[in-house]
Amino acid sequence: MYYALGNHEYKLLFSEYRQLYEAYEKRLTQAGVCFLHNEKDRKKIRTATCYFHGLELPWEYYKKPRSKKLTKKALEELLGVPEEEGLHILLAHNPKYGKPIFLGS
pLDDT digits (tens, 9 = 90+) for 17-60: 999 999 999 999 999 999 999 999 999 999 999 999 999 998 88
Residue 85 lies in a domain: yes
- Biggest CA–CA distance in the chain, Å, is 46
Residue 105 lies in a domain: no
Domain that holds residue 72: 2-91
Torsions phi, psi of 52, nearest 5? -105, 120
Total structural domains in the chain? 1
Residue 104 lies in a domain: no
Q: How far apart are CA 74 and CA 76, in angstroms?
A: 5
* pTM exceeds 0.85, yes or no: no
pLDDT for position 97: 56
Specify the range with the lowest mean pLDDT, choosing from 37-41, 79-83, 94-98: 94-98
Residue 100 lies in a domain: no
